[in-house]
Amino acid sequence: MDKIIIEYDEEPDLNEPILIEGLPGVGNVGKLAAEHIIEELKAKKFASIYSKHFPPQVLIDGGGIASLVSNELYYHKFGSPGKSDIIFLVGDYQGMTPEGQYDLSNFMIELLIKNGGKLIFTLGGWGIGRIVKEPRVLGAATSPELVEEMKSLGVEFSKDEPGNGIVGASGLLLGLGAIRSMNGVCLMGETSGYFADPNSAMAVVGILAKILDVEINVSNLEEKSKELEMVTSKLDDLAEATSDIQKDDLGYIG
């Protein structure tokens, strides 16, 4: 069996597409942000990616229908000759091994090259171990010019963050892209790292909307954010009741 299988629903004709990746990771910030933009732009699913680097598993939906775990590709066409279209890479899984990570990211780079794309945005979270009300969006990029451009749009570049670099698809897509002459930026929303964080995802979406020069409604994510506050309050109660979670860490919540 091939290591990676792609199944196309359609093969759209895209204008120098930008790749936006939002796979699971710290605080699921990237995934939440990408899924929100897909929803707001009404981006259209065009392909599923299956791989033996994903878990050997099917998921069952509410109707009892089983489907193989996958990543999904969506596209959005702006229909303007001067404006790049978008390919979104989302899903519930990243490759389970280092080799799997390399294979899957390389597959995406090849697909982007084939579609004439030259620019990649990867979205993620930057775990800081405590809750932040107003998360910054930190960046890393493949060229000094991109760093400057991102700074001018509100992305912060910090010498010490992230100290150990970026692990997984958000990092590899930039790294493998760069050796294929692609430009790339990773946008990381500050997050506690303790739970899914729509508030941080909102910050990332805000920046990305400016970069892409599109209007994106963030009210949905705000609702999710409110749900999150309820969840964290419950977590807080739980922590008090049971706890080997340290008081100081969660005491700050709500």
* Interface positions with a copy of itself (CB under 8 A): 1, 5, 7, 48, 50, 52-60, 62-69, 95-96, 98-99, 101-103, 105-107, 139-144, 147, 157, 159, 162, 164-169, 171-172, 174-176, 178-179, 184, 186
Kindly tell me which of 93 and 199 has the beta carbon lying closer to a copy of itself: 93
How far does the chain reach from its first CA to its final CA, in angstroms? 50
What CA–CA distance (Å, rounded) separates 33 from 198? 8
Kindly tell me which of 101 and 192 has the beta carbon lying closer to a copy of itself: 101
Block residue for tokens 């749900």: 227
Kindly tell me which of 19 and 239 has the beta carbon lying closer to a copy of itself: 19
Please give the backbone phi and psi of residue 54, each rounded to the nearest 5 degrees, phi first: -90, 170
Kindly tell me which of 64 and 129 has the beta carbon lying closer to a copy of itself: 64
Per DSSP, what are the bridge partners of residue 7?
Answer: 48
Residue 228 CB, nearest approach to a copy of itself (Å): 21
Residue 1 CB, nearest approach to a copy of itself (Å): 4
Residue 240 CB, nearest approach to a copy of itself (Å): 25
DSSP annotation of 158: B
Residue 225 CB, nearest approach to a copy of itself (Å): 25
Q: Are 163 and 205 in contact (CB under 8 A)?
A: no
> CA torsion 170→171→174→177, rounded to 10°?
-100
Residue 174 CB, nearest approach to a copy of itself (Å): 5
56 contact partners, CB below 8 Å, separation of at least 6: none
What CA–CA distance (Å, rounded) separates 41 from 34? 11
Kindly tell me which of 160 and 215 has the beta carbon lying closer to a copy of itself: 160
What CA–CA distance (Å, rounded) separates 58 from 18? 30
Residue 29 CB, nearest approach to a copy of itself (Å): 17
Block residue for tokens 């895209």: 14
Block residue for tokens 């963050």: 161
Residue 83 CB, nearest approach to a copy of itself (Å): 26
Kindly tell me which of 169 and 250 has the beta carbon lying closer to a copy of itself: 169
Q: Are 190 and 26 in contact (CB under 8 A)?
A: no
Kindly tell me which of 79 and 144 has the beta carbon lying closer to a copy of itself: 144
